[in-house]
Amino acid sequence: MYKRMLVGRDCHGSMPLSSLKPWLQAAPAPQPISASTSEYPSLESTVQCSLGCLGNFSMCVWMIDTFGNEEQRHRFCPPLCTMEKFASYCLTEPGSGSDAASLLTSAKRQGDHYILNGSKAFISGGGESDIYVVMCRTGGPGPKGISCVVVEKGTPGLSFGKKEKKVGWNSQPTRAVIFEDCAVPVASRIGDEGQGFLIAMKGLNGGRISVASCSLGAAHASVILTRDHLNVRKQFGEPLARNQYLQFKLADMATRLVASRLMIRSAAVALQEGREDAVALCSMAKLFATEECFAICSQALQMHGGYGYLKDYAVQQYVRDSRVHQILEVQREAWGNLIPCRDKGNSCHSHPQLP
């Protein structure tokens, strides 16, 4: 039922976030993270690409819960955790993507309010979410001048751009979020002034696990669909599953899938345990899994032949949806800053433990 819902919503280009609540509440509760757990195959099949906005949503809840004060946590977290309300993460701007520290959205303090001016781009859930966790500049240039504030929908001066027309993720609304003399109480600031960039980056560690897991869900589904298609589709008088070349291709896809899964789990364990190498491992897992899983989805479409190119078949949606995962949470060309190699003893991040 869920896959039919996704394909149908993708064709119509919309999925009201409220429609996800009953399905997600009925989903099995995730088990504690373990690199060897057998529970994840069933869980990852529910983490499909078009729910990527929910990774963004959970990241917002985590940031408020981790860095917010008691009043903020009790005010914002309960309705978010019950999904009565949804949240969007607002970092990217038209002129600052991977170079997030150069953001320009300003927050000038006037009494007990900040006056926000600027805009955010490509915001998942923009216009639909109830709460916007916004990174804005309260100080000078660079990362230390950035703070984090919560802006609620309906605040005067907050508006939204048109719904973006995307190649994939069509069941998830994406819009610009615009601030024009938008007054936000200082009490809505999360953490201290100047702490926003740190909050944003720590949130992105979990966000990279989420995006990688979305790719994993799409690849897992694509492998299953391809296996079933090869068993049913006949050419030259026998099922395609008997073709040795296609058998080898499917085995290669399954191997890359398992490798991606193990890398994501390893990073998730490191993040959960608060290890020093968590940043590097989360970045590596996102880089590796999003590329490998997109390749799996693309190969699955190829092995479906002409049918794979039809919108009646879900595999084409997995290809379109998973492509953006290589761009989200810092695109691959900027990963060198997050996965550094030691150079004369200098390094910005702790390195994973290598054999």
Same domain, 127 and 61: yes
Confidence of residue 299 (pLDDT cuts 50, 70, 90): very high
C-beta of residue 52 within 8 angstroms of C-beta of residue 214:
yes
The CATH number covering residue 62 comes to 2.40.110.10
| Separation CA 88–CA 57 (nearest Å) | 6
The two tokens of residue 209 are 């696990």
Where is average pLDDT lowest: 19-33, 35-49, 66-80? 35-49
Same domain, 154 and 205: no
Residue 176 lies in a domain: yes
What is the rounded radius of gyration, in angstroms, for the C-alpha atoms of the chain? 21
Torsion 351-258-50-273 (CA) sign: negative
Question: Is residue 296 classed as helix, strand or coil in its secondary structure?
Answer: helix
Same domain, 250 and 308: yes
Confidence of residue 96 (pLDDT cuts 50, 70, 90): confident
Q: Is the pLDDT of residue 320 over 60?
A: yes
Helices (H), the chain: 2-12, 20-26, 40-44, 52-67, 70-81, 196-232, 244-273, 278-303, 315-323
Question: Is residue 139 classed as helix, strand or coil in its secondary structure?
Answer: coil
The CATH number covering residue 243 comes to 1.20.140.10
For the chain, the domain total comes to 2
| Separation CA 89–CA 91 (nearest Å) | 6
Q: Is the pLDDT of residue 43 over 50?
A: no
Q: Identify the pLDDT of residue 329.
A: 77
Q: Give counts: helices (H), strands (E), the chain.
A: 9, 10
Q: Identify the pLDDT of residue 17.
A: 57
Q: Is the pLDDT of residue 40 over 50?
A: no
* Catalytic one of 39, 71, 329, 333: 329
Confidence of residue 57 (pLDDT cuts 50, 70, 90): confident
Q: Identify the pLDDT of residue 147.
A: 97
Bridge-partner residues for 131, per DSSP? 87, 152
Same domain, 318 and 271: yes
Bridge-partner residues for 189, per DSSP? 149
First to last CA, the chain: 44
Q: Identify the pLDDT of residue 325.
A: 92
Kind plus residue range of the DSSP H or E element containing 174: strand 174-185
Nearest to residue 290, comparing CAs of 266, 249, 318, 311? 318
Q: Is the pLDDT of residue 18 over 80?
A: no
The two tokens of residue 323 are 């492509």
Q: Pick left, alpha or beta for residue 39 (phi over 0 → left; psi -120 to 50 → alpha; otherwise beta).
A: alpha
Kind plus residue range of the DSSP H or E element containing 311: none
Q: What domain range is 303 assigned to? A: 198-335
Kind plus residue range of the DSSP H or E element containing 92: none
Which tops the pLDDT comparison, 43 or 56? 56
Q: Identify the pLDDT of residue 83.
A: 87
Nearest to residue 189, comparing CAs of 146, 160, 220? 146
Q: Identify the pLDDT of residue 236.
A: 93
Average pLDDT, the chain: 84
Q: Identify the pLDDT of residue 153.
A: 96
Q: Is the pLDDT of residue 88 over 70?
A: yes
Q: What proportions of the chain, in percent to the nearest 5, are helix, strand and coil?
A: 50, 15, 30
The two tokens of residue 320 are 């379109």
Same domain, 216 and 170: no
Within 10 angstroms of residue 352's Cβ, the number of other Cβ atoms is: 18
| Separation CA 63–CA 84 (nearest Å) | 18
Q: Identify the pLDDT of residue 3.
A: 53
93 is catalytic: no
Same domain, 173 and 220: no
* Average pLDDT over every residue of 6-24: 58
Q: How far is CA 105 from CA 64, 179, 190, in A?
A: 20, 8, 16
Question: How does pLDDT run across 323-339, given as a tens digit for each residue?
Answer: 999 988 766 655 555 55
* Average pLDDT over every residue of 310-331: 90
Same domain, 330 and 238: yes
* Average pLDDT over every residue of 246-274: 96
Q: Identify the pLDDT of residue 170.
A: 85
Q: Is the pLDDT of residue 345 over 50?
A: no
Same domain, 165 and 260: no
Residue 87 lies in a domain: yes
* Average pLDDT over every residue of 284-291: 95
